[in-house]
Amino acid sequence: MATIPFDDRDGKIWYDGKLVEWRDANIHLLSHSLHYGSAVFEGTRMYDGKVFKLKEHVERLIKSAQILGYELPYSCDEIMEATLKEFEANNLTEGYVRHVAWRGADEMGLGARNTKIHLAIAAWDWPSYFTEEEKMKGISLSTADWKRPDPATAPCHAKAAGLYMICTISKHKAMDKGYADALMIDFQGYIAECTAANLFFVMNGELHTPDPYCFLDGITRQTVIELAERRGYKVVVRKIKPEEIVNAQEVFVTGTAAEITPVSKIDDHTFTTGEVTKALMKDYAMEIRK
């Protein structure tokens, strides 16, 4: 399926406080974040004219920047208001929005205290992260070679650009083998998550999900835990070993972009989309449009 390049679209992007033409939303090539991975970002969705968990996402953006050592030059309320303006400027009542903050080109080198902090917000129509076909039949995952790093070696609770380097390498490798995404193991050998989504395993009617001690505790993940508990499912957050995958009857991933997407295969193990996954997909679809 041909997609329109992201730098050649009609529309407006909120950029440092102004709405600019989509094609003019550029950065200088000597921007610190391009060289040293110091950008932070968010992905959020609007449903029926309302952005789901907007405050939580903006708060995480601010927190991610603080973890990387900088303050955004806008408050949470200002960023929330700018987000709504961005949707309005593009006549969208449904869609995905990407917030990105980065250090500019005012200084070159790792010491970057005097770089200007920029913020841009871009919204577009993006129905599903995985293709509709992949979503219906469940996605396939291939275990990655790269490991999620020790929290002592990377700021793993920030949604920071630099952390996605191993995700792209892993996703490409999985796709080259015919899989939709990679399943990532952490530095201690436990199951972590996918490249941009969290994981849940249904084991004998209970939901088991990896302890997010070294990766992003997704906002969708937290919502799904609440929905599951509301339904009376037991949710167990723990360290899960790859050998335990065979004990799961159902597997699914969660994320703002992926929403709840069933998993049909991990390496050579196959799964069906069962009743628990279907029930939570239904609950999630209702929750986001409440």
Ligand X SMILES: Cc1ncc(COP(=O)(O)O)c(C=O)c1O
**Catalytic residue annotation:** 159
Binding of ligand X by 166 (CB under 6 A): no
Binding of ligand X by 255 (CB under 6 A): yes
Ranges within 46-105 binding ligand X (CB under 6 A): none
CB 44, min distance to ligand X, A: 8
Contact with ligand X (CB under 6 A): which of 82, 196, 199, 266? 196
Binding of ligand X by 134 (CB under 6 A): no
Contact with ligand X (CB under 6 A): which of 220, 261, 264, 277? 220
Rg for the chain (alpha carbons), in Å?
Answer: 19
Contact with ligand X (CB under 6 A): which of 100, 144, 197, 240? 197
Q: Which one of the spans 22-30, 110-118, 218-226, 268-276 is the region binding ligand X (CB under 6 A)?
A: 218-226
Q: Which one of the spans 30-38, 118-126, 169-177, 190-198 is the region binding ligand X (CB under 6 A)?
A: 190-198
Q: Which one of the spans 5-13, 16-24, 248-256, 259-267 is the region binding ligand X (CB under 6 A)?
A: 248-256
CB 255, min distance to ligand X, A: 4
- What is the C-alpha to C-alpha distance for residues 69 and 50, in angstroms, rounded to an integer? 31
Binding of ligand X by 262 (CB under 6 A): no
> What amino acid occupies position 174?
A
Contact with ligand X (CB under 6 A): which of 186, 193, 250, 283? 193
CB 104, min distance to ligand X, A: 24
Nearer to ligand X among residue 106 and residue 187 (C-beta): 187
Nearer to ligand X among residue 260 and residue 276 (C-beta): 260
Q: If binding means CB under 6 A, how many residues of this protein chain bind ligand X?
A: 13
- If you write DSSP's letter for every residue of the chain in order, what string do you get? -----TTS-SSEEEETTEEEEGGG----TT-HHHHH---EEEEEEEETTEETTHHHHHHHHHHHHHHTT---SS-HHHHHHHHHHHHHHTT-SSEEEEEEEEE-SSS-SS--TTSPEEEEEEEE----SS-HHHHHH-EEEEEEEEEEPPTTTS-TTS-BGGGGHHHHHHHHHHHHTT-SEEEEEETTS-EEEESSSEEEEEETTEEEEE--SSS---HHHHHHHHHHHHTT--EEEE---GGGGGG-SEEEEEETTTEEEEEEEETTEE----HHHHHHHHHHHHHTT-
Nearer to ligand X among residue 13 and residue 214 (C-beta): 214
**Residue 225 · residue 197 · CB < 8 Å:** no
Q: Name the nearest CA neighbour of 182 among 215, 224, 119, 139.
A: 139
CB 192, min distance to ligand X, A: 9
Nearer to ligand X among residue 261 and residue 264 (C-beta): 261
- For strand 181-186 and strand 139-148, is the pairing parallel, antiparallel, or unpaired? parallel
Contact with ligand X (CB under 6 A): which of 38, 170, 256, 264? 256
Report which residue's Cβ sits closest to ligand X.
Answer: 218
Interface ranges with ligand X (CB under 6 A): 43, 193, 196-198, 216, 218-221, 254-256
